[in-house]
Amino acid sequence: MIKTIALALTATALMAAPAMAAAACSGSYALDKDWHTEQEINDYNEDLLRGKGVDVVRAEQWGGCIRVWVRTADGGEEMQFYEPMGLRRVQ
pLDDT tens digits along 9-56: 555 544 544 444 556 776 666 666 778 888 998 999 999 999 999 999
pLDDT of residue 31: 67
Q: Give the pTM.
A: 0.67
Cα dihedral 46/60/88/74 (nearest 10) = -70
Report how far apart, in Å, the C-alpha atoms of 88 and of each of 9, 13, 14, 39, 70 are.
34, 28, 28, 21, 15
pLDDT of residue 18: 45
Whether pLDDT at 81 is above 60: yes
pLDDT of residue 19: 45
pLDDT of residue 67: 94
Lowest mean pLDDT among 14-18, 61-65, 86-90: 14-18
